[in-house]
Structure 1
């Protein structure tokens, strides 16, 4: 199945009534830069990179530049050694200068890579999670780029992780019957009133959610403390509650406010400071323990994730396949996380569409713990095959591909 042409789309969706708001992104417009790999058949590989509206056109232009060498390639041939193809794209000299491995160019790479995996799964007529499980450890590692990780994760060690977990997959197959547990982020958007977060908490729990997230990072910390207390009181002591500052605080502020938020016993405190500040996160993690730090939504690549792991600066890895270099780098970071003992709980800029596949593979194929996956339903109506949630569990997708196709 040959890639005959490439179509690029700039898709933007307005949000209303405070939906999607956080302390840093107060008036978001959710958007995707979309890479469509055409084949001359009815099948198209669709890949997403998540943006927030303005600037999506820049990512689309970068997709045009980076994807041109794929025209004429057969998808099976391309994916047999995709790790090498990936590294050639990511290290193209002129584009590397614009990163390296971050920003507009890396977002474009995410869309291209995700389209390749989507087309690969569609060409084999299986959902992405099954494609990944059907690959041998060697075949899967061939699709990854492990460069710059060699001192902590070699090719042989990556294959060993997958091989060891291949032998115990049967112990984790029950997730295909139960589905994958979700948590509700839409309970507590930043611009919601106190009354609305209380009502949303009750509604989420009525729908089966036992894990909920609140956006914090207010100029007045007491607003955060009050709202966190409201959710804890409404949800009860047995509920799992996370709080997310979306990078708002400096390190001294984070240390002070995190301790105060500790009164509600949060499961984690997310993005407490600038996403590039490894030592800042390390300082926070050390000083607020046993409270846990989650981050990764804005960490752009595997090397910086490696540094976070080495510094013990995060307790939960929130890598996002539409932020890093697509499925390939997501899987690389998941292997690195497994190697270094950090659980993966992805951020879902794709609204959970691709990640519902990836967490299934992470759990069954790598042995990552089945914790939960973020659920944000606000773009559900725009997908041809949207993620389905029943009693707070993601249902296992059965349609071939990565569930990324958007309605026209």
Structure 2
């Protein structure tokens, strides 16, 4: 059973303008880390991601949630984790601070992810294997499907997963090939044009066939110029994505996205306010066939449901260290599968946890194995860092979710 809880506020300043975007000019990549230790000496590690200030608040809320797990057996807990998730996320006082968003939901993500890590370590397998080997009923029992009943019921979720069972073996070949990645670090917002050009060349040499540029400048001509630099260096066959990090209002987004059409972006990411479903629907219609991607700042399954219902987003970037953890990630993944929308996670975890979840998405849920974002800046801080070779994530083999940080090693 779980005997000890430890919550840590871990912050990593970045160098050389890394991580900068149109809104977040000087981020400090930070984790609110939950560790759950059981009576056999195994420690499960989970975290939520922030950009520095307020990370301590997430830690304080995570402590509140985590203490409720002391004395519980992880197998018993995960057998009906959906019920526990619902109970914690609807805590009568903490819910007032959300509901299901902000500091309290990030805290729940940290605790939830620690539960999944402990579960996988207890069984001695990587998280991806634990998840793909679970029966559909077992997976759905870890989910809270409340407020989704008009779109996805408990029995429908089981039916969806059961329908993928017969073809899982074919999709499991990706375990040997590895999951494709894309380079999101070629064009941080504060990088010079010259550095963007050199980073594009470096990404190509490292085997990446997709890359992303930060846009959202006060002067849109800067965005247009830099987008064309990336396209020029990358060539026509490479997928180039543009990320505005919510910088534009709707009229600006329509104008600038229209001007960017001729460099053929694979998607435009977070063009305007992440809560404005209607604006995204209008934008998607106005700039077609340019496609939209969003989800980095979408906090919960309800807002994702609304975006799917609106038909505005062609790619969903749900992040398991941003929503309520692995459980809510899987819930949203099932919703996306129903709507035929690919899941391409934002990687606040630097791809450590998500390298497991995209394998589950592909093998067990039947999502296309499109690609997974790669951000290398914190790689040296992980006990088992993600391995990306020739632009491809290699399948992790260590037990757990690959989220153990060296600084917190027992």
For normalisation by structure 2, the TM-score amounts to: 0.99
Q: Distance in 2 between matches of 1:341 and 1:269?
A: 19
Following superposition, the deviation at residue 286 of structure 1 comes to 1.0
Name the structure 1 match of 2:168.
Answer: 169
Determine whether 1:334 maps to 2:333.
yes
Following superposition, the deviation at residue 38 of structure 1 comes to 1.1
Q: Distance in 2 between matches of 1:286 and 1:141?
A: 35
Q: Which runs of 4+ in 1 moved over 2 A?
A: none
- Residue correspondence of structure 1 range 2-401 to structure 2 within 5 A: 2-401=1-400
Following superposition, the deviation at residue 25 of structure 1 comes to 0.3
Q: Distance in 1 between matches of 2:339 and 2:147?
A: 16
Q: Distance in 2 between matches of 1:395 and 1:255?
A: 39
Q: Distance in 2 between matches of 1:286 and 1:312?
A: 10
Following superposition, the deviation at residue 42 of structure 1 comes to 3.0
Following superposition, the deviation at residue 40 of structure 1 comes to 3.1
Following superposition, the deviation at residue 396 of structure 1 comes to 0.2
What is the DSSP-based 3-state SS (H/G/I as helix, E as strand, rest coil) of the residue aligned with 1:4? strand
What is the DSSP-based 3-state SS (H/G/I as helix, E as strand, rest coil) of the residue aligned with 1:70? coil
| CA-to-aligned-CA distance 1:9-62 (integer Å, 9 cap, x gap) | 000000011100000001110000000001133310100100011100000000
Q: Distance in 2 between matches of 1:209 and 1:117?
A: 30
What is the DSSP-based 3-state SS (H/G/I as helix, E as strand, rest coil) of the residue aligned with 2:191? coil
Following superposition, the deviation at residue 303 of structure 1 comes to 0.3
- Alignment RMSD, CA only? 0.6
What is the DSSP-based 3-state SS (H/G/I as helix, E as strand, rest coil) of the residue aligned with 1:8? strand
Q: Distance in 2 between matches of 1:380 and 1:389?
A: 11
Aligned residues: 407
| CA-to-aligned-CA distance 1:80-116 (integer Å, 9 cap, x gap) | 0000011000001001111000000000000000000
Q: Distance in 2 between matches of 1:31 and 1:40?
A: 29
For normalisation by structure 1, the TM-score amounts to: 0.99
Q: Distance in 1 between matches of 2:306 and 2:274?
A: 12
Q: Distance in 1 between matches of 2:312 and 2:49?
A: 25
Following superposition, the deviation at residue 134 of structure 1 comes to 1.0
What is the DSSP-based 3-state SS (H/G/I as helix, E as strand, rest coil) of the residue aligned with 2:103? helix
Q: Distance in 1 between matches of 2:120 and 2:169?
A: 23
Following superposition, the deviation at residue 225 of structure 1 comes to 0.2
